[in-house]
Amino acid sequence: MAEYKKPKTEAEFENNFKQKNPLMNDTEAYYEASRCLFCYDAPCIQACPTSIDIPLFIKQIHTDNITGASKTIFESNWLGNACGIVCPTGVLCEGACVYNHQDVPPIKIGRLQNYATNKTIDAGKVIFKVGESNGKKIAIIGAGPAGIACACEARTLGYEVDLFEAKEKPSGLTVYGIAPYKITNEEVLKEVEYLQNQLDFNIKYKATINSKAALKSLEDDYDAIFIGVGLGKTRNLELEGEEKENVIGAVEFVEELRMKHHKLAVPKKVVILGGGNTAMDAASEAARMGAKKTVLAYRNSKEKMGAYRFEYDLAISAGVDSLFNVTPIAITGNGKVEGVKFAKTEMVDGKLKTNMNNTFIVRCDMVIKATGQAKQGHLYGLIDDLEIDTKKRIKTNDEFQTSNPMYFAGGDAINGGAEVVNAAYDGKMAAQGIHNWLNK
């Protein structure tokens, strides 16, 4: 059932995409901070991919040392503001909070984090300094979370840093790929601007690095190169009829939505293929854009979905219907999509089998493929001696160095697709890796 009306204005769009984690006010933050037990060897810190000293920043909020709290956060995670909002805290820090064992709601760590950093960013408090120049330069390919984190850390270590970004805005998927009810463009961009104002790194936009010559000139001009290119376009499913109009990749769909908001046309019936978090996002978004019917189709059972349970619940509450144990075998229609032909699947001896004798068609006007992104294979092929694993991820060592010693990498390019917080960690640690390598 459709829960949302098609948004016709920006205000209606904002209403349909109301922030899931709204900013806390002072009173709520004070009360919430007072609940923290200040656990020893706190489970929340262990659960945070960037090991933020969470009890410390919460105590700092409670004692009204907001700037100190932000320092604690940013020192571990350069994208602390964005992560406070978009992190799947329920499975990370908040999921680890000891209150869960008492059947008491866990501390709202993410929102407290966002409360502190947001205040500090809005006040323009300068808390970081560029390190003393060491005369060396680092090129960063991709200004996503990994690249920005790498840039910030490298600047504090005294490196000159240039980022080369293919798109027009920084932050990668945080601005182009995350559901708009999780974070607004403004919130993302102001954090990068805040960091850039203090750490003074240079981002070149619309500067795609996709040729041997471009790489050669980076290699000549810089002492080390960090690859933070994330993933590429949505992978082709090699389905019959996949080229039809209105068959779109989830990443591309979300990007258009993030940029066009209510001006994006979403037709009446939408089918989303996939069972991961991106599929849930795309389904939720299609529903919030006023699609009359939104159907999520996953080839395996509900239990086998890769998506977090809360993401699935969120999609369902937006009015999304779901189909399990179905696999698409063709996309039908005359030039434009008119439906998806599915076959039922079943588990046979632990393997998922498609039953071609049991097929049916779901009529729709749009198909969103949330079945994974391709890797940036073209770029990798241009770099000498760059080792890639069987899943086409760049291989790195503990210092985030690739098999070509001049190149370091982090984020989705090495993990195949994870959270913003993982990319932020990789980028930071890669800068330290570069520093260690150049000072050997």
Partner 1 sequence: MIDLSVNFGGIKAPNPFWLASAPPTNSGYQIMKAFEAGWGGAVWKTLGVPVVNVSSRYGSVNYRNSKMMGFSNIELITDRTLADNLREMEEVKKYFPDHAVIASLMVESRAEWEQIIKDVENAGADGIELNFGCPHGMCERGMGSAVGQEPEVLKTIVGWVKEAANIPVITKLTPNISDIIPPGLAALQGGTDSISLINTIKSIVGIDLDTYAPYPIVDGKGTNGGYCGPAVKPIAMNMLKDLAQHPEIGRIPLSGIGGIETWRDVVEFILLGATSVQVCTAVMHYGFGIVREMEAGLRQFMEERNYNTIYDFAGKALPNVTEWKHLNLEHKVVAEINADKCVGCELCYISCDDGAHQAISLSDDPLNRIPSIIEENCVGCNLCSLVCPVEDCITMVKKDDGTEHSSWNERTLNNDIPTTFNDDRAGGKGHFVPKPSDALKI
List contacts with partner 1 (CB under 8 A). 25-27, 30, 34-35, 38, 40, 53, 56, 59-60, 62-65, 67-68, 71-72
In the complex, minimum distance from the CB of residue 242 to partner 1, in angstroms, rounded to a whole number: 55
In the complex, minimum distance from the CB of residue 112 to partner 1, in angstroms, rounded to a whole number: 15
CA–CA dist 198, 128 (Å, integer): 6
In the complex, minimum distance from the CB of residue 264 to partner 1, in angstroms, rounded to a whole number: 36
In the complex, minimum distance from the CB of residue 9 to partner 1, in angstroms, rounded to a whole number: 26
Q: What is the per-residue DSSP string for 184-248?
A: -HHHHHHHHHHHHHHH--EEETT----SHHHHHHHHHH-SEEEE-----SBPP---BTTTSBTEE
CA–CA dist 306, 302 (Å, integer): 9
Of residues 103 and 303, the one with the C-beta less far from partner 1: 103
Of residues 131 and 267, the one with the C-beta less far from partner 1: 131
The separation between CA 51 and the C-alpha centre of its own chain, rounded to angstroms, equals 18
Of residues 42 and 146, the one with the C-beta less far from partner 1: 42
The separation between CA 341 and the C-alpha centre of its own chain, rounded to angstroms, equals 31
Q: Strands 339-348 and 351-363: what pairing? A: antiparallel
In the complex, minimum distance from the CB of residue 62 to partner 1, in angstroms, rounded to a whole number: 8
Of residues 121 and 297, the one with the C-beta less far from partner 1: 121
Of residues 109 and 272, the one with the C-beta less far from partner 1: 109
Of residues 50 and 325, the one with the C-beta less far from partner 1: 50
Residue that the structure tokens 């490298």 belong to: 154
Query: How many of the other CB atoms lie within 10 Å of CB of 167?
Result: 18
In the complex, minimum distance from the CB of residue 154 to partner 1, in angstroms, rounded to a whole number: 24
In the complex, minimum distance from the CB of residue 387 to partner 1, in angstroms, rounded to a whole number: 41
In the complex, minimum distance from the CB of residue 164 to partner 1, in angstroms, rounded to a whole number: 36
Q: Are 369 and 274 in contact (CB under 8 A)?
A: yes
In the complex, minimum distance from the CB of residue 84 to partner 1, in angstroms, rounded to a whole number: 19
Query: How many of the other CB atoms lie within 10 Å of CB of 176?
Result: 22
Separation in Å, CA 13 to CA 19, 101, 173, 264: 11, 38, 20, 11
Of residues 4 and 115, the one with the C-beta less far from partner 1: 115
Q: Which long-range contacts (CB under 8 A, 24 or more apart) does 377-382 make?
A: 377/232, 378/210, 379/141, 379/209, 379/210, 379/227, 379/229, 382/210, 382/211, 382/212, 382/215
In the complex, minimum distance from the CB of residue 37 to partner 1, in angstroms, rounded to a whole number: 9
Query: How many of the other CB atoms lie within 10 Å of CB of 129?
Result: 10
Of residues 118 and 327, the one with the C-beta less far from partner 1: 118
Of residues 44 and 279, the one with the C-beta less far from partner 1: 44
Of residues 30 and 437, the one with the C-beta less far from partner 1: 30
Q: Which two tokens stand for residue 187?
A: 């919130």
Whether the CA torsion 403, 408, 414, 415 is positive or negative: it is positive
Phi, psi for 185 (deg, rounded to 5): -55, -45
The separation between CA 398 and the C-alpha centre of its own chain, rounded to angstroms, equals 22
In the DSSP assignment, the letter for residue 394 is: B
CA–CA dist 208, 111 (Å, integer): 35
